[in-house]
Structure 1
Amino acid sequence: MVFTKTGTPLMASCTKTILLNFLLIFFVLNASGQAPLQQHPTSTADSLLNKSIIYTQSDPDSALILANQAIDFAQESKNAAQLQAIYHQIGYIYYTQNKFEQANKHFTVSLQIANERNDMAGKALAFNRIGNVNQLQTNYLTALDYYLQALEINKEINSKAEVARTLVNLANVYAVIGQYQHSIENFLKAMDIHEEVGEQEGLAWTSLGIARLFKRLDLLDRAMQYAESALEYYRNIEQTTGNSVGVTLSLSEIGSIYHKLGNYSKALEYTQMVLDINLKTENIFGQAANHISLGVIFLDQGDDQRARKHLNEAIALKTSVGDSLDLASLYRHLGKIEMRNNHPTLAHKYFTQSLEFAKKHRIIPDISEAYFCLSSIYSQIGEMGKALAAFKNHTNYKDSLNSSDIAKLEMQYEFEKREKEQELLARQREALQEARLDRQRVVLIFFVVAFLLAGILSAFIFYAYREKNRINELLIEQNIEISNQKEEIESQKEEIEQQRDFVTRQRDQIAEQQRLITDSITYASRIQNAVLPSQNTMQQLPWESFVLYKPKNIVSGDFFWTSQLASGKILIAAADCTGHGVPGAFMSMLGITLLREIASHDANIKPASILSQMRDMVLLSLNQEKGKIDQADGMDMAIAIIDPNSLEMEFAGAYLSAMVVRRGAIEMNDPSVNHRLAQKEESTLVEILGDKMPIGHHVLGNKPFCNKIFQLQKGDMLYLYSDGYADQFGGPKNIKFLMQNFRELLLSIHKMNCPQQESTLQTTIEEYKGDRKQVDDMLVLGVRIS
């Protein structure tokens, strides 16, 4: 179970009972075989732990004191099962108080003891609890890892109730991060198990979770149906146990659905009702969520003053308890208010905060909305280039959500089909039960009458025959009704298949257009490859070298260049142009042309001078001079000019850097050279950093680039590269490869010959990327100084 946005524990009415029973089972199953009353420390620890569990909700401070006292007695008796249960109880006390670091610490100790004892149920319980903590801290991917481990164990030990609870936890996280198909699948599995074991609390919470999912998908009628079903379950539970937490959750959800339906009066009525309850119970988390709901309702009604008041109150409450949940949407709503009141600077600040939080936690719907808001504010203040870029990002993320529309239709169809099948099965069972009862009644009457009067026997036989015909007719009518409903389901299936066929035809048309475009771009790639230095050109260098060159979309925005200046020095360059594919290729062709022209005019030219001249020519070529820009196009570049006799290297970079790897130590005697050092075993890597300015328009204007001098030695490996390799997503957690891993990789391969290095770099990034798409052009140029 996990806390909701209102701060109340899920499955709260049975939490105390479940935990108490679980801990008592631990003691019974893991006792050493001696009578508890014969071991005074053990029985005392049992008593203190039981009292702590009882006081968990009503007096958590006393519960914590009792649990800490129980640890001393459990340690005295060396009872590992007790220690495991006590540490779990202390973690749960901190968890109910939202002290997540302390909670996680004690749950982890309980998990370690469970591992030592090979207690599978204890490990699953600890994994679930640690997942709960991470979910409330918005660490959704970490929470998923722990829930999946708990699910695997619970399935292994065949604990159906715990399997269902873990499935609900997984479904809730999948819903938050936008993986709706996984969410509904886990909800349905949990619902089946709860129905099988007849657990009302589980059915109530699962119904509420499905309502929230359908609300996210804008299936509001279905959402209201399940929210009202959850409210009915929780009201029955309240009558039995006196616990009203579930009723409050259901009322809050119904208010939220009314808001999305546009019924603001009902939404305000239900939300204010829940806020009054949370104020009475001093539930800070619940109050914060209610203020957010009220703020959004007033925002939609155009009442900016009251909307701002409630949203700021929510921020204050969340700050007081360290709650970061929903901050992405909260800041976005505040930004909308300021934008509507013509405060673009403050609106931009809020939208940027919303985007940073949504990206941090990978909440795709909030990322898409934040980019849309930023596009609007940039358009309002006249920065059309930034507005277009933000809108493109918005559509990209929205497309990733819209791509699941067909899956959403199929999911809805399968869900409705399942419900109708269950309804039909229930009606069949009722009909069979009715028929069974009727037959029993007929048989009973037959035997009674047989004892009374033989003459009446024949009449009752006739009656039984007539009843049998009536039942058969009833079954036939019901079978006809079932067949009609089956035909209706098949008709819905045919409609979905027609929609699928329409989408398939559109896909084929797009594929043909894509083939024509791809053929054209492929031909363009031949032209680009012809302009780049050939393999023979690279082999004419006085040193061994390799080039890893992987365009993202056939043609590339990255390019490299090498030539021998009139002075005899060797020029080596690598560049990363704005964008990739066809736009990037145009920029790369411009860059190669400018670089070749500049380098051919001055035999003693410096790298920094080349970059400055290229910047001036790019600004002129793209009409970006005097700050008049319609687009922020340009390129990043690293240039090294090496004297083959003295091995002195002059370097300058526009955002891009150079790396030198050497066996042994590297001493940087010039403090003006901005650099980073890294070591591995006997090898050292120095990263000579470029200036943080592009070749193109920049806020710093025409500030000159810096020329840096570095003394190479024989055996050194020099690397120039773009950022595409380090920015590639992949691995088990689908994160960037990162520059730190790139440095470590170069340290580990620099002793190989150049073909082996290229092969290793290629294999490493392909294995890391897996079946994911390449996100950017990749370029790594390596030279072995000899």
Structure 2
Amino acid sequence: MNSTEFHRNILLVLILLTFSLSYSQAQSDTVRIGEMLQRAEVLRTTNPDSAIGLAIQALNIIDGSDNKELMVRVEHTLGNCYYSRNDFELALSHLKKSLQLATEEGRKFWVAMNLNRIGNVYQLKSDYGSALQAYTEALNINRSIDNKSQLARTLVNIGTVYSITGSYKEAIENMLKALETYEQAKDYEGIAWASLSISRLFSRIDLYEKALQYAESSLTHYRQLSNINGVTLAKTELANIYYHLGMYPKAKEMATDVLATNQQNQNIYGQAANHLLLGIINFELGDYTSAKSNLLTSLELKRQVNDSIDLAKLSRYLGEVNLKSGNVAAGLESLEQAMRIAQRQRVLTDQRDIFLSLSQAYRLRGDYRRSLDYFTRYSAVKDSINASQIARMEMQYDFDKREREQELISRQREAIQQAKLERQRMLTLFISIALLLAVALAGVIFYFYRNKKKINALLVAQNQEILRQKEEIEAQKEEIESQRDLAERQRDQIAGQQKQITDSIRYASRIQSAVMPRTDTLATFLTDYFIYFQPKNIVSGDFFWVTRLNDGRIAIAVADCTGHGVPGAFMSILGITLLKEIIAYQQVNTAGDLLDKLRQMVIAALNQSGQVQDSHDGMDMGLLVVDAKGRKAEYAGAYMPLLVSRNSELPEVSAGVQPETANGWSIYEIKGDKMPVGYHLAGERPFTTHRFDLLSNDTFYLMSDGYTDQFGGALNQKLMMVNFKKNLLGLQTLSLSRQNEELQKQLIEFQGTQKQVDDILVMGFRL
């Protein structure tokens, strides 16, 4: 080998060695960067600063490299980390760099991932139009590459934007599609996330029983997956639902438990949300010191991580706590700050609540002009939200309809599969029998062919006749089966439609029962009571209501709304809602004053002005307001009397009221005004307040006209109030529970075979 060849070989070896070392270094850097990015994704929710440091290190290592795919991942992870720290501008900068690189490289998976996260950033910045645009682009890309898990996650994001902006029908459609897609992909963590998102949607629109169902489902899945963060999120949602259902001890217990978990995991965002909920619960329980401590802690935690979620609500409750503590100036400052945040974030429900709080605050300060101005704004926003509540009811109807359709489709698929299996079995059996017959027939033909051609010919003819008859019979059988199947389908369709309607009304009955006082609530106000409640058509236009007023007095009401069935039920829910709003936000002086305020709100809610095309709906009502300590009572009625039972030897209830007396007992009828709670052609006179003293063992009866207007008896006439009072006089020595049994028994005997003509509600009670 000469000198030139030797040097050339040495040079070739050096080049190969350098290439090998460079390739090994590149491979080592790729593995190292991948591990750093995985570590950053794990840390970003609990320690975003450390996660950002790791991602920046990875970026410095890969800087100048031509590995575009790895650069896409690094920029995406860095954007994710800034997103977790709520540094939205830096997050958008890195995510858009990753998006541009992924687009240039044709990496559709990463294009969709970046668009999804960019949508998250815009959503937290309250730029919902940009968020929806990014999500929609991600959705189309995920569909094109058939990435079911990311497709479902994008659908959840789109549904969340629609939920925030009040488009509840579109929100539930997208979230249900997401849940179905996760189920098809058997992505159980995705199923848990979609269920939690649907629960939050139902909480947003006050359907807390539905929300509870999906939150419990989410918690079950997260526990099965041992996902601690998911379990914490689901428990947080459950605590919020329990609070809105009025289950304050249970809500407080769960929120405290979740707070301990978030403190252990150093989850600042979770701690801030938990302290906010605990502050609201303590405010409702009247513990204003603890409430203020929780709210200030939540505010400080949110400032640490630049978290603006529910910041308007937090500031409003700080203002309410200061108002309750007598610090009106500090309360106004917090409420004004809350309004600025709510208007910036464009959250109508927060604006509505803050306007009302500002109105009350300025009234306490004596600035009645500004108080009226804020109350006018509150009414305008409330009317806007009331319009969206109709959309909520439509969304719930569409949701129930979709669930029924999905159930019907599942049953149809199962029925089709069963029919296919049955046809296959029958076909196999038929072919087997036909083959056996053919073999036997061939043997007979072969045997007789050699022996008796004449007999063989006869057998062939007979066989043809048998086949003809068989085909005729099978044709008749198919026709009979077709007619039978048609009749069964029509029968099942009618039965299904009837069941759907009945089920919907029964579900509405559950909702109506939920908004009326529960037995444990009644027991806190009344020493003894009975309620005879019998709707005419499952749901009722009658309702009863018991609460404690702000001055400590007890209010007991029975109402009979226009109509019965579903229309009456809607009116009853409106009545209860307005009563709660009056008690919560207005000063009530007398029973008549409360009915006056309720009448004004009903007329406003139904837009009644006396025009022909206006709604003429309203309600009859009897309202008793009791000062148990002072032994004083007030009564006001709208077409509804109050009956008071008292021992005849005791003083009269009220001068000028002549009682019905028998067996040592007297029943006094205090009549209500002859005008409804609603628009009245005769004008709006103030309701009369009747006052009287309470005595021990006084028994009170409030009732709609459904009992006394019932037809029956030998002459098929109405029962009438005079006969009802006579019946009551004969029951005064019995306990209230026995009185209830006897009243029901007497009505059944009087009614006989006649149909019930109206909703029935009779309430008897002692204080």
| Superposition TM-score, scaled by structure 1 size | 0.52
Structure 1 residue 55 and structure 2 residue 39: aligned? yes
Structure 1 residue 108 and structure 2 residue 96: aligned? yes
Residue in structure 2 matching 1:366, options 337, 350, 364: 350
CA shift for structure 1 position 273: 1.8
Counterpart for residue 729 of structure 1: none
Structure with the greater alpha carbon radius of gyration = 2
CA contact (8 A) 1:41 1:77 kept: no
Residues 77-123 of structure 1: per-residue CA shift (max 9 Å, x gap): 42222212221122223334544444333212212323444544433
Task: Label 1:475 to 1:226 Cα distance change in 2 as closer, same or farther (>3 A).
Answer: farther
CA shift for structure 1 position 512: 8.1
Letter of the 1:485 counterpart: G
- What is the rounded CA distance, in whole Å, between the counterparts of 2:124 and 2:71 in structure 1? 26
Task: Label 1:233 to 1:309 Cα distance change in 2 as closer, same or farther (>3 A).
Answer: same
Counterpart for residue 83 of structure 2: 95
- What is the rounded CA distance, in whole Å, between the counterparts of 2:254 and 2:485 in structure 1? 46
CA shift for structure 1 position 328: 0.4
Task: Label 1:436 to 1:349 Cα distance change in 2 as closer, same or farther (>3 A).
Answer: same
- What is the rounded CA distance, in whole Å, between the counterparts of 1:147 and 1:123 in structure 2? 11
Counterpart for residue 496 of structure 2: 485
Counterpart for residue 188 of structure 1: 176
- Gaps (5+ residues) in structure 1? 1-34, 455-468, 515-786
Counterpart for residue 120 of structure 2: 132
Counterpart for residue 217 of structure 1: 205
CA shift for structure 1 position 281: 0.8
Task: Label 1:481 to 1:298 Cα distance change in 2 as closer, same or farther (>3 A).
Answer: farther
Letter of the 2:402 counterpart: R
Structure 1 residue 335 and structure 2 residue 314: aligned? no
CA contact (8 A) 1:215 1:223 kept: yes
Residue in structure 2 matching 1:288, options 268, 272, 282: 272
Task: Label 1:446 to 1:231 Cα distance change in 2 as closer, same or farther (>3 A).
Answer: farther
- What is the rounded CA distance, in whole Å, between the counterparts of 1:477 and 1:304 in structure 2? 65
Residues 252-289 of structure 1: per-residue CA shift (max 9 Å, x gap): 11121111111112111221221121111111110110
Aligned-CA RMSD value:
4.6
CA contact (8 A) 1:255 1:268 kept: yes
Task: Label 1:86 to 1:476 Cα distance change in 2 as closer, same or farther (>3 A).
Answer: farther
Q: What are the equivalent positions in structure 2 for 1:525-544 lying under 5 Å apart?
A: none
Counterpart for residue 234 of structure 2: 250
CA shift for structure 1 position 182: 3.4
Residues 4-30 of structure 1: per-residue CA shift (max 9 Å, x gap): xxxxxxxxxxxxxxxxxxxxxxxxxxx
CA shift for structure 1 position 62: 7.2
Letter of the 1:372 counterpart: L
Counterpart for residue 682 of structure 1: none
Counterpart for residue 410 of structure 1: 394
Q: What are the equivalent positions in structure 2 for 1:644-683 lying under 5 Å apart?
A: none
Q: What are the equivalent positions in structure 2 for 1:450-529 lying under 5 Å apart?
A: 480-481=491-492, 483-489=494-500
Question: 3-state DSSP class of the match of 2:40?
Answer: coil
- What is the rounded CA distance, in whole Å, between the counterparts of 2:402 and 2:379 in structure 1? 34
- What is the rounded CA distance, in whole Å, between the counterparts of 1:477 and 1:256 in structure 2? 47
Q: What are the equivalent positions in structure 2 for 1:223-242 lying under 5 Å apart?
A: 223-236=211-224, 238=225, 242=226
Task: Label 1:66 to 1:305 Cα distance change in 2 as closer, same or farther (>3 A).
Answer: closer
Counterpart for residue 326 of structure 1: 310
- What is the rounded CA distance, in whole Å, between the counterparts of 1:369 and 1:177 in structure 2? 17
CA contact (8 A) 2:33 2:58 kept: yes
CA shift for structure 1 position 295: 0.9
CA shift for structure 1 position 133: 2.6
CA contact (8 A) 1:137 1:323 kept: no
- What is the rounded CA distance, in whole Å, between the counterparts of 2:504 and 2:256 in structure 1? 43
Counterpart for residue 525 of structure 1: none
Count of residue pairs the alignment pairs up: 470
CA contact (8 A) 2:40 2:55 kept: no
Task: Label 1:159 to 1:68 Cα distance change in 2 as closer, same or farther (>3 A).
Answer: same
Letter of the 2:139 counterpart: L
- What is the rounded CA distance, in whole Å, between the counterparts of 2:166 and 2:613 in structure 1? 31
Residues 193-212 of structure 1: per-residue CA shift (max 9 Å, x gap): 33443332222212211111
Counterpart for residue 301 of structure 1: 285
Residue in structure 2 matching 1:204, options 188, 192, 208: 192
CA contact (8 A) 1:138 1:325 kept: no
Letter of the 1:107 counterpart: L
Counterpart for residue 164 of structure 1: 152
CA shift for structure 1 position 75: 4.4
Counterpart for residue 378 of structure 1: 362
Question: 3-state DSSP class of the match of 2:291?
Answer: helix
Task: Label 1:185 to 1:330 Cα distance change in 2 as closer, same or farther (>3 A).
Answer: same
- What is the rounded CA distance, in whole Å, between the counterparts of 2:42 and 2:399 in structure 1? 41
Counterpart for residue 28 of structure 2: 44
Residues 384-425 of structure 1: per-residue CA shift (max 9 Å, x gap): 211111011111111111112332222111110110111122
CA shift for structure 1 position 482: 5.2
Q: What are the equivalent positions in structure 2 for 1:310-321 lying under 5 Å apart?
A: 310-321=294-305
Letter of the 1:351 counterpart: L
Task: Label 1:493 to 1:313 Cα distance change in 2 as closer, same or farther (>3 A).
Answer: closer
Structure 1 residue 78 and structure 2 residue 78: aligned? no
- What is the rounded CA distance, in whole Å, between the counterparts of 1:441 and 1:235 in structure 2? 44
Residue in structure 1 matching 2:256, options 260, 272, 289: 272
Structure 1 residue 175 and structure 2 residue 163: aligned? yes
Counterpart for residue 428 of structure 1: 412
- What is the rounded CA distance, in whole Å, between the counterparts of 1:83 and 1:121 in structure 2? 14
- What is the rounded CA distance, in whole Å, between the counterparts of 1:124 and 1:272 in structure 2? 38
- What is the rounded CA distance, in whole Å, between the counterparts of 1:192 and 1:37 in structure 2? 50
Task: Label 1:397 to 1:62 Cα distance change in 2 as closer, same or farther (>3 A).
Answer: closer
Task: Label 1:147 to 1:443 Cα distance change in 2 as closer, same or farther (>3 A).
Answer: closer
CA shift for structure 1 position 297: 0.9
Counterpart for residue 608 of structure 1: none
Letter of the 2:163 counterpart: A
Letter of the 2:329 counterpart: T
Letter of the 1:136 counterpart: L
CA contact (8 A) 1:224 1:254 kept: yes
Residue in structure 1 matching 2:247, options 263, 267, 274: 263
Question: 3-state DSSP class of the match of 1:387?
Answer: helix
Task: Label 1:253 to 1:473 Cα distance change in 2 as closer, same or farther (>3 A).
Answer: farther
Question: 3-state DSSP class of the match of 1:419?
Answer: helix
Residues 271-324 of structure 1: per-residue CA shift (max 9 Å, x gap): 122112111111111011011111111111111111111111111111122212
Letter of the 1:344 counterpart: V
CA shift for structure 1 position 438: 6.3
Task: Label 1:186 to 1:325 Cα distance change in 2 as closer, same or farther (>3 A).
Answer: same
Letter of the 1:428 counterpart: Q
- Gaps (5+ residues) in structure 2? 1-18, 439-479, 509-564, 572-602, 615-767
Deviates more, 1:265-274 or 1:424-433: 424-433
- What is the rounded CA distance, in whole Å, between the counterparts of 1:444 and 1:430 in structure 2? 21
Letter of the 1:193 counterpart: T
Letter of the 1:44 counterpart: S
Letter of the 1:374 counterpart: L
